């Protein structure tokens, strides 16, 4: 009886270890995507709000494509496109992981851009005017007056995207990258059991509960005013 | 130095799309004067204030502050604004209080008053804080120093807005219908602050619907209608003995 | 303003469709020159093997996260002999031809069934293993022949050779009550165990491996539904490269190394190289 429990524990430990390694890759994708897409999203938001008709149309098209096509297709497109579009001699193969990060960053930047824009446009004109007559420069106004207010407003929407990102990391399996989902699928195939998939679900849940907690904390910190 | 008017506006024109909102407004403001601007809605009063405070671009005319040109129209009918650096300096001499207060909700009352001092006027934070304290005392809100705008009443917010504008030590203070958004019982506290400032000879231009205030506090009243100054003069004259037919009609409609 | 945006979207969609169609037609390897496939690999000193690492016993991830399997052991030996480093690259099975044609992998070696359709886009070695698509039922089941399965539920893995085998047997298929498709062989086996399906159509190598590792017993029908052979898939123009690998396999068959690997995984030598 004890031997059985010992075996089960050993198996469980091994499972957690395997899934843990996969989860680390998922986290790598998660953090790299956030690091690139959040600032890029701001640039895209400005492009979208630009009065220049050329910039505006290009950016609107970009946002349309990024939000309007499945991320999984975008990942494949970025990975395979160079091989197909460049002439035979110029074969440049992008590294799988790099292709994935590029696709994720572009895709999420479009979503963040629209969230930022919604937040920025919801700030009343009066705030800009009051800052202007007090002598603040446009840059000062944006970072000291507008951004703090925008952050508070867009926090719930941002948390949506971040939580979705944690789960979207599974899509890189399409390039054969071994992250949490793929590790679970492989283990499930090896032991002919669905337990690894279930445990993977728990891993995702755990990661997202940390994300949720962090956003709750930030929201609380910003609740000093209404 | 006293002969140069504090504010000189000549032939001010402003169009919104096809709508001519200001059709050539001209007037002077002398140092220490308190001028009330009255008139029906759509007469261009607020637009005029916003043009002077660089919140709108004019389409014709000229504006200068204490002799320094802000904007003028050259011989080719082209509107030319002064250099950015010059405009920035002029901006610091003007202060404005808005109808909807426009306080910064994420800053405390004190921070609202010190932010511009520190980051625009480059004052030392301690000096800025001291100034804030004094101004809060002046407007009667010392006990609200650490409160946030959402915790204040409309009248309190507007008084903070006045303190915020005063903190930058403007030469002229503009008020765009300062009490129009307030409940009647809160109007008095704000008008009192403006009255105190008048007693201290602060140069002020107040667009308002409060006729009692205009009559009692202003040195001069300007009546505007349909984008033009129709009549101006001492309050006693304007209110008791208006010359122009339209002035008469307007005053009749509100009294 | 609205009309302008509408026109722009149409132009954009047309552009997208153009790009997509260019990609889909796929560039044929147009090298009209000599076949330098083996030379390139030798020069690089590296050969990339592509597989879906969830297909035991051919290629899968073991409990330590290492990729192992019959195909892996064989490949390791082949490239040891050829003096080239073997790189094992997991891929998505649906994308195997893409990965091969874009040069991201050099071969597909994963219990890859040879069939005419695949031969159109891929160059196969000679077969190295026989596999059968067999009908499997629970050990205590009362079904013994194909006729017993009329009006019963059959399960199989989607997009697999099992599905192809069933389609080739129209008469049998039409007599079934229902055909249930599973994402994974593992899910299909589990459903058989709990009685969700009455019979399973699956690779013989997979079910035998399952029985060996799990200790569960199933009844496997004597007569198979189809018979297939596993081969290694290369790019159509990589004849020299394929030839080198074929050569090495035949040498391994001759000196008994191949049989050794087969016995390790299947208890018997079931390879067909050189036979």
pLDDT band at C80 (very low <50, low <70, confident <90, very high): very high
Q: How confident is the model at residue C29 (pLDDT cuts 50, 70, 90)?
A: very low
- Chain A partners of B94 at a C-beta cutoff of 8 Å? 133
Q: Reduced to 3 states, what is the DSSP secondary structure of residue A86?
A: coil
The Cα–Cα gap between C259 and A142 comes to 73
| pLDDT band per the 50, 70, 90 thresholds, residue C225 | confident
Q: What H or E segment, with its residue span, contains residue B160?
A: helix B154-166
- CA of C8, closest CA in chain A: separation in Å? 8
Q: How many domains does one find in chain A?
A: 1
A201-204 long-range contacts, CB within 8 A, separation 24+? A203/A19, A203/A20, A203/A23, A204/A166, A204/A167, A204/A180
Phi-psi region of C69 (alpha: psi -120 to 50; beta: other; left: phi over 0): left
- Residue A7 belongs to some domain of the structure: no
Q: Please, where are the H alpha helices in chain A? A: 2-49, 53-68, 71-85, 96-121, 125-134, 138-140, 147-168, 180-191, 195-221
Residue C30 has pLDDT above 80, yes or no: no
Q: What does the DSSP 8-state code read for residue B100?
A: T
How far apart are the C-alpha atoms of C144 and C220, rounded to whole Å? Answer: 9
pLDDT computed for residue C64 by the predictor:
85
CA-nearest of C4, C3, C8, C1 to A64 is C8
Question: Which tokens in the block code for residue B100?
Answer: 């909807």
Residue A1 is assigned to a structural domain of this protein: no
Cα(C78)–Cα(A112) distance, rounded to whole angstroms? 50
Tokens of A24: 């680390």
Continuous segment of H or E residues that includes residue B191: helix B184-199
Residue C100 has pLDDT above 80, yes or no: yes
- Contact between residue C156 and residue C200 where contact means Cβ atoms under 8 Å apart: yes
* Domains of chain C, each with CATH number or no CATH: 37-130+230-266 (3.40.190.10), 131-228 (3.40.190.10)
Range in A111-115, B61-65, C13-17 with the lowest mean pLDDT:
C13-17
- Whether residue C92 and residue A18 make contact (CB cut-off 8 A), yes or no, is no
pLDDT at C27 over 50: no
More confident residue, A193 or B102: B102
Are the CB atoms for B197 and B217 separated by under 8 Å?
A: no
**For B120, which of A135, A149, A152 is closest by C-beta distance?**
A135
Sign (positive or negative) of CA dihedral A128, A131, A132, A138: negative
Q: Partners of B62 in the beta sheet?
A: B10
Q: How many residues are there in chain B?
A: 255
Residue range C169-195, pLDDT digits in tens: 888 888 899 999 987 788 889 899 888
CA distance readout (Å), A134 to B47, B137, B176: 18, 21, 15
Q: Which structural domain range is residue A204 located in? A: 12-222
Q: Is A48 on the interface with C (CB under 8 A)?
A: no
Residue C34 has pLDDT above 80, yes or no: no
Q: What is the enclosing helix (H) or strand (E) of C232?
A: strand C226-234
Whether residue A6 lies inside any domain: the answer is no
C and A touch per CB criterion (3+ pairs under 8 A): yes
> Where do the DSSP E strands lie in B75-133?
79-81, 94-97
Range of weakest confidence among B35-39, C61-65, C79-83: C61-65
pLDDT > 70? residue A31:
yes
Would you put residue A135 in left (φ > 0), alpha (ψ -120 to 50) or beta?
left
Which domain CATH number covers A217?
1.10.3720.10
Residue A131 with chain B: CB contacts under 8 Å: 104
Report chain A residues whose CB lies below 8 A from the CB of C103.
Answer: 83, 91, 93
CB A9 within 8 A of CB C56: no
pLDDT digits (tens, 9 = 90+) for A158-189: 999 999 999 999 999 999 999 999 999 888 88
pLDDT value of residue C40: 86
Tell me the C-alpha distance between C211 and A152, whole Å. 58
**Closest CA relative to residue B170, chosen from B98, B71, B66:** B66
- Is the Cβ–Cβ distance between B102 and A130 less than 8 Å? yes
Contacts of C213 in chain A (CB under 8 A): 192
> Per residue in B184-202, is it b (16+ CB within 10 Å) or e — as a string?
eebbebbbebbeebbeeeb
Specify the higher pLDDT residue, B66 or C26.
Answer: B66
Q: Which chains touch C (3 or more CB pairs under 8 A)?
A: A
Cα distance from C53 to chain A (closest Cα, Å)? Answer: 6
How far is Cα C199 from Cα B94, in angstroms, rounded to an integer? 87
Q: What pLDDT is recorded for position A52? A: 94
Mean pLDDT of all residues in chain C? 85
Specify the range with the lowest mean pLDDT, choosing from A57-61, A142-146, C34-38. C34-38
- C200 and C165 Cβ atoms separated by less than 8 Å: no
| pLDDT at residue C24 in the model | 54
> A144 in a domain, yes or no?
yes
Which helix (H) or strand (E) is B172 found in, with range? strand B172-176
Q: What gap in Å lies between CA B164 and CA C71, rounded to an integer?
A: 77
CA dist B65 and C271 (Å) reads: 98
Whether residue C212 lies within 8 A of chain A, CB to CB, comes out as no
Q: Would you call C214 and A178 a contact, using CB atoms and an 8 Å cutoff?
A: no
**Once rounded to an integer, what is the mean pLDDT over residues B241-245?**
87
CB atoms within 10 A of CB A89: 6
Residues A8-31: what's their mean pLDDT? 93
pTM summary value: 0.81
**Cα–Cα distances in Å, from C115 out to B23, B62, B65, C184, C190?**
86, 86, 89, 21, 28
Candidates B198, B204, B205, B214; CA nearest to B251 is: B214
């Amino acid at each position: 009886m004890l031997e059985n429990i010992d075996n089960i524990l050993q198996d469980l430990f091994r499972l957690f270890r395997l899934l843990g390694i996969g989860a680390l890759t998922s986290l790598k994708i998660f953090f790299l995507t956030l690091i690139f897409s959040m600032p890029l999203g701001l640039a895209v938001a400005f492009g979208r709000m630009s009065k220049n008709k050329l910039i505006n149309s290009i950016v609107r098209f970009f946002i349309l494509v990024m939000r309007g096509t499945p991320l999984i297709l975008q990942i494949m497109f970025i990975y395979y496109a160079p091989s197909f579009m460049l002439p035979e001699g110029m074969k440049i193969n992008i590294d799988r992981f790099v292709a994935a990060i590029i696709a994720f960053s572009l895709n999420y930047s479009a979503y963040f851009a629209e969230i930022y824009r919604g937040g920025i446009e919801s700030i009343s004109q009066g705030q800009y005017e009051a800052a202007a007559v007090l002598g603040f420069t446009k840059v000062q106004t944006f970072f000291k007056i507008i951004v703090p207010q925008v952050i508070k407003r867009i926090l719930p929407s941002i948390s949506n995207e971040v939580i979705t990102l944690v789960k979207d990391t599974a899509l890189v399996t399409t390039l054969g990258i071994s992250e949490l989902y793929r590790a679970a699928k492989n283990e499930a195939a090896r032991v002919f059991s669905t337990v690894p998939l279930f445990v993977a679900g728990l891993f995702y849940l755990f990661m997202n509960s940390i994300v949720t907690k962090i956003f709750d904390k930030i929201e609380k910190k910003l609740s000093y005013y209404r | 130095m006293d002969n140069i008017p504090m504010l000189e506006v000549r032939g001010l024109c402003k169009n919104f799309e096809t709508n001519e909102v200001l059709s050539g407004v001209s007037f002077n403001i002398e140092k220490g004067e308190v001028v009330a601007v009255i008139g029906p809605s759509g007469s261009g009063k607020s637009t005029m204030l916003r043009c002077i405070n660089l919140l709108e671009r004019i389409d014709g005319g000229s504006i200068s502050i204490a002799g320094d040109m802000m904007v003028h129209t050259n011989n080719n009918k082209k509107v030319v604004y002064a250099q950015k650096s010059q405009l920035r300096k002029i901006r610091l001499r003007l202060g404005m209080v808005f109808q909807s207060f426009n306080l910064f909700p994420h800053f405390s009352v004190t921070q609202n008053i010190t932010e511009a001092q520190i980051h625009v006027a480059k004052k030392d934070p301690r000096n800025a804080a001291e100034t804030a304290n004094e101004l809060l005392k002046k407007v009667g809100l010392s006990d609200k120093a650490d409160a946030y705008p959402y915790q204040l009443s409309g009248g309190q917010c507007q008084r903070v807005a006045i303190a915020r504008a005063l903190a930058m030590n403007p030469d002229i203070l503009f008020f765009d219908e300062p009490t129009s958004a307030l409940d009647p019982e809160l109007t008095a506290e704000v008008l009192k602050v403006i009255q105190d400032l008048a007693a201290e000879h602060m140069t002020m231009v107040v667009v308002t619907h409060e006729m009692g205030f205009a009559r009692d506090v202003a040195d001069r009243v300007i009546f505007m209608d349909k984008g033009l100054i129709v009549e101006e003069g001492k309050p006693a004259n304007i209110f008791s003995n208006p010359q122009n037919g339209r002035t008469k009609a307007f005053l009749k409609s509100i009294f | 303003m609205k009309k302008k945006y509408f026109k722009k979207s149409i132009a954009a969609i047309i552009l997208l469709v153009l790009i997509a169609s260019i990609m889909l037609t796929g560039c044929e390897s147009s090298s009209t020159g000599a076949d330098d496939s083996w030379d390139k690999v030798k020069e690089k000193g590296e050969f990339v093997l592509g597989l879906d690492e969830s297909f035991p016993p051919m290629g899968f991830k073991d409990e330590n996260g290492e990729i192992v399997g019959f195909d892996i052991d064989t490949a390791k030996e082949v490239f040891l002999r050829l003096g080239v480093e073997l790189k094992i690259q997991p891929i998505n099975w649906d994308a195997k031809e893409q990965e091969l044609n874009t040069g991201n992998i050099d071969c597909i070696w994963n219990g890859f069934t040879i069939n005419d359709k695949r031969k159109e886009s891929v160059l196969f070695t000679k077969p190295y293993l026989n596999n059968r698509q067999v009908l499997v039922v629970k050990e205590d089941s009362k079904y013994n022949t194909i006729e017993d399965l009329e009006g019963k539920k059959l399960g199989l893995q989607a997009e697999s050779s099992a599905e192809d085998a069933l389609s080739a047997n129209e008469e049998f298929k039409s007599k079934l009550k229902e055909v249930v498709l599973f994402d994974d062989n593992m899910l299909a086996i589990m459903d058989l165990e709990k009685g969700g399906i009455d019979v399973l159509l699956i690779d013989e190598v997979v079910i035998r491996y399952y029985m060996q590792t799990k200790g569960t017993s199933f009844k496997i029908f004597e007569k198979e539904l189809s018979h297939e052979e596993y081969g290694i898939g290369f790019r159509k123009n990589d004849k020299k490269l394929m030839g080198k690998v074929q050569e090495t396999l035949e040498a391994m068959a001759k000196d008994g190394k191949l049989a050794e690997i087969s016995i390790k995984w299947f208890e018997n030598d079931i390879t067909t190289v050189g036979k």
